[in-house]
C-alpha cells in the first residue's frame, strides 16, 4: 500500500488522513503545533465556524458525524440587529434540514485528531515543521520545533494541507511548479467574546438567541456573532483597515466604546470588557489566494487553504477544504495510480474553488449591506416561493452553496446568475407579488426560456 505523508494536521489534513487510512493506506501526519488534545482553548479566542452540508458530507464519509454532533449548534437563519435595536429573523432555507451549524474550531480540530490518534494506520507527529520539499528527489526538510534540529526525510506521496501560509506551496512556487496571486481584502477582522450568562457549567445560558447567526449590518462594515456550546458567542467585527470608520481610527479619536455604543449598542452591553478584549486580541487579515499548479511530479498535491484560501463571508472555506478531501478520495478510487488522480484533481476542482472565491467576496456586500433593504427580504421570499413551486428547477444560490453538495460551486454560480435575471424579469411585470396565476404561468415561461 502507498504511504501518504500529510503536512498540516488542521481539519483538512486530518480528515484526508482518516479517509486514506480507512482505505488501508499507512498515513503520517506532520504538524508544527503541539498536540491539541487536552489543551485548554486559547483564552479569548474560542473562534468558531459555520459548518454546512459540504463539510458535513465529508465528515460523514469518514464516519465521524456522531463524534462531531455534540459540538455543533444549529443556526436556521440570520438574526439581523437593526440600528434601533429591532430584530428580524431571516431563515436560510425552506425546512428544518436546511440549516447551518456553529462549531468551535478547536473542538472540531481536537475531535478529528482524537479519531486519527485512535486509528492504527495513522502516525501523528506534532511540533514538527515542514521547511521545504523537493518533488523530484521526493524529500521533505523538517524541523523539530522543540530542539530546533533539522533533517531530511523521503516520502512517497505528500499532500500539503498546511493552510493559507503554506510552506509547501512556497517551495513549489520557488521551484517553478506553482504560480500564486494573493489579493488582500481592504478590511480586517477582530474577534471578541460575548460571555455566557451565569457561571460556566452551572446552568450558563446564551445572552442572545443561540439558534441564529447574528448580524449587525452597517453598510460598509458589520459585526457578526456565532454561538458556542458553552453559552458564549464569538463575535467578529469586519471593518476597513483605514477609513471612517476604520481600525486605524479606533486607536485614535474614535474610541472602540463609542463605535460600539453608536452602532452595536445591544452587543456592547453584553461585553463589559470590550476595550480590554479589543486591545488583547489580534487584528486579523483576510484575502483570496489564487493558485495554479497544485500538483508536482505526480507525487505532491496542495489541498484546502494551501491551494485556495478565500474570504470567510460565505462560511465555506473549511467546507470547501473538507469537500476537497471527499473528492480526492473519490478520484484516488477511480484511478489505480495516485499520480493520475493528483494530476486530475486541479483540473476538476479549480473551476469550483474559483467560483466559491468569487461568491464569497460577493457575499460580504450581501451580509454587511444588502440584507438591510426591504427589497432583499422581498426578493428572498419570492425566491423561496419559486423554489417551493418549481422543486429542483429553482434553488436560491445561497441554498445551492450551503445545502446542496451534489451541485458543484461553479454550477451554483451559473444557475444563480440565470435565476437573478429571471427574478428581475418577473419583478418587472409582477413586482414582488406572489406566484399565483397569471404570475405562475409567466414564471414557468421564464424558467423554460432560461433552460432551467
Ligand atoms: P488550517 O486550518 O490553516 O490548518 C493548517 C494546519 O497546518 C495547521 O494546523 C497549521 O499549524 C499546520 N501547518 C502550517 N504550516 C505548517 C508547516 N510548515 N509544517 C507543519 N504544519 C504546518 N470556513 C468555513 O467553512 N466556515 C466559516 O464560518 C469560516 N469562518 C472563518 C472566519 C475567519 C475569520 C477566517 C479567517 C476563516 C474562516 N473560515 C471559515 C475558513 C477556514 O478557517 C479555513 O478554510 C480552514 O481552516 C482551512 O483548513 P485547512 O486545514 O486547509 O488549513
* Three-state DSSP state, 396: coil
Beta carbon of 100 within 6 Å of any ligand 1 atom:
no
pLDDT confidence of residue 416: 97
pLDDT confidence of residue 33: 95
Q: Which atom of ligand 1 is found nearest the CA of 30? A: 20
H or E stretch covering 72: strand 72-75
CA of 103 from ligand 1 middle (Å) equals 14
Kindly give the confidence (pLDDT) of every residue in the chain, 452 residues in length, as a single tens digit, with 9 standing for 90 and above. Answer: 999 999 999 999 999 999 999 999 999 999 999 998 877 665 545 589 999 999 999 999 999 999 999 999 999 999 999 999 999 999 999 888 999 999 999 999 999 999 999 999 999 999 999 999 999 999 999 999 999 999 999 999 999 999 999 999 999 999 999 999 999 999 999 999 999 998 766 678 999 999 999 999 999 999 999 999 999 999 999 999 998 899 998 876 568 999 999 999 999 999 999 999 999 999 999 999 999 999 999 999 999 999 999 999 999 999 999 999 999 999 999 998 899 999 999 999 999 999 999 999 999 998 898 888 999 989 999 999 999 999 889 999 999 999 999 999 999 999 999 999 999 999 999 988 778 888 999 999 999 999 98
pLDDT confidence of residue 59: 98
- Using only C-alpha atoms, the chain has a radius of gyration, in whole angstroms, of 23
**Cell numbers describing residue 165:** 501560509
Alpha helices, H only, 335-452: 338-368, 374-390, 397-403, 409-430, 439-449
pLDDT confidence of residue 253: 52
Q: Burial, 193: exposed, middle or buried (Cβ in 10 Å; 0-12, 13-18, 19+)? A: buried
CA of 263 from ligand 1 middle (Å) equals 30
Q: Burial, 140: exposed, middle or buried (Cβ in 10 Å; 0-12, 13-18, 19+)? A: buried
Query: How large is the angle between the packed helices 11-22 and 53-61, nearest 10 degrees?
Result: 40
Beta carbon of 321 within 6 Å of any ligand 1 atom:
yes
CA of 26 from ligand 1 middle (Å) equals 24
State pTM to two decimals: 0.96
Q: Which atom of ligand 1 is found nearest the CA of 131? A: 18
Residue nearest to atom 15 of ligand 1 (CA): 162
Peptide bond into 245 cis (omega under 30): yes
pLDDT confidence of residue 371: 87
pLDDT confidence of residue 201: 62
CA of 223 from ligand 1 middle (Å) equals 21
CA of 2 from ligand 1 middle (Å) equals 26
Residue nearest to atom 46 of ligand 1 (CA): 318
pLDDT confidence of residue 252: 60
Beta carbon of 235 within 6 Å of any ligand 1 atom:
no
Beta carbon of 319 within 6 Å of any ligand 1 atom:
yes
Please write down the HEC assignment for all residues of 409-437: HHHHHHHHHHHHHHHHHHHHHHCCCCCCC
CA of 10 from ligand 1 middle (Å) equals 6
88-to-63, 263, 271, 293 alpha-carbon distances in Å: 37, 16, 22, 45
pLDDT confidence of residue 445: 94
Number of continuous H segments (helices) and E segments (strands) in the chain: 16, 21
CA of 434 from ligand 1 middle (Å) equals 43
Beta carbon of 9 within 6 Å of any ligand 1 atom:
yes
Amino acid at each position: 500500500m502507498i504511504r501518504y505523508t500529510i503536512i498540516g494536521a488542521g481539519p483538512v489534513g486530518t480528515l484526508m488522513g482518516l479517509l486514506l487510512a480507512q482505505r488501508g493506506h499507512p498515513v503520517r501526519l506532520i504538524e508544527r503545533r503541539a498536540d491539541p488534545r487536552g489543551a485548554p482553548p486559547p483564552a479569548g479566542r474560542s473562534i468558531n465556524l459555520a459548518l454546512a452540508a459540504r463539510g458535513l458530507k465529508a465528515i460523514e464519509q469518514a464516519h465521524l458525524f456522531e463524534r462531531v454532533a455534540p459540538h455543533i449548534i444549529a443556526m436556521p437563519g440570520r438574526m439581523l440587529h437593526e440600528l434601533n435595536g429591532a430584530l428580524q429573523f431571516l431563515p436560510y432555507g425552506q425546512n428544518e434540514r436546511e440549516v447551518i451549524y456553529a462549531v468551535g474550531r478547536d473542538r472540531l480540530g481536537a475531535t478529528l485528531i482524537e479519531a486519527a490518534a485512535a486509528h492504527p494506520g495513522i502516525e501523528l507527529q506534532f511540533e514538527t515543521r515542514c521547511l521545504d520539499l523537493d518533488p523530484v528527489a521526493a524529500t521533505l526538510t523538517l524541523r523539530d520545533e522543540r530542539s530546533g534540529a533539522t533533517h531530511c526525510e523521503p516520502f512517497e506521496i505528500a499532500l500539503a494541507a498546511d493552510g493559507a501560509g503554506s510552506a509547501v506551496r512556497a517551495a513549489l512556487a520557488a521551484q517553478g511548479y506553482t504560480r500564486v496571486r494573493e489579493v488582500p481584502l481592504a478590511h480586517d477582522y477582530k474577534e471578541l467574546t460575548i460571555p455566557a450568562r451565569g457561571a460556566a457549567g452551572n446552568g450558563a445560558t446564551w445572552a442572545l438567541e443561540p439558534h441564529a447567526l447574528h448580524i449587525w449590518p452597517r453598510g460598509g462594515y458589520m459585526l457578526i456573532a456565532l454561538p458556542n456550546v458553552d453559552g458564549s458567542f464569538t463575535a467578529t467585527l469586519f471593518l476597513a483597515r483605514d477609513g471612517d470608520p476604520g481600525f486605524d481610527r479606533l486607536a485614535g479619536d474614535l474610541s472602540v466604546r463609542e463605535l460600539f455604543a453608536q452602532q452595536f449598542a445591544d452587543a456592547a452591553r453584553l461585553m463589559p470588557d470590550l476595550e480590554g478584549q479589543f486591545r488583547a486580541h489580534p487584528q486579523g487579515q483576510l484575502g483570496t489566494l489564487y493558485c495554479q499548479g497544485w500538483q508536482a511530479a505526480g507525487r505532491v498535491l496542495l489541498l484546502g487553504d494551501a491551494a485556495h484560501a478565500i474570504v470567510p463571508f460565505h462560511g465555506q472555506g473549511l467546507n470547501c477544504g473538507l469537500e476537497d478531501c471527499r473528492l480526492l478520495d473519490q478520484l484516488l478510487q477511480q484511478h489505480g495510480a495516485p499520480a493520475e488522480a493528483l494530476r486530475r484533481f486541479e483540473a476538476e476542482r479549480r473551476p469550483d474553488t474559483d467560483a466559491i472565491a468569487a461568491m464569497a467576496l460577493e457575499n460580504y456586500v450581501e451580509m454587511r449591506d444588502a440584507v438591510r433593504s426591504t427589497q432583499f427580504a422581498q426578493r428572498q421570499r419570492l425566491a423561496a416561493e419559486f423554489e417551493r413551486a418549481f422543486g429542483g428547477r429553482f434553488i436560491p444560490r445561497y441554498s445551492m452553496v450551503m445545502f446542496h453538495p451534489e451541485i458543484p460551486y461553479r454550477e451554483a454560480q451559473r444557475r444563480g446568475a440565470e435565476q437573478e435575471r429571471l427574478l428581475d424579469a418577473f419583478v418587472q411585470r409582477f413586482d414582488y407579488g406572489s406566484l399565483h396565476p397569471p404570475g405562475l404561468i409567466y414564471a414557468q415561461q421564464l424558467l423554460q426560456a432560461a433552460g432551467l
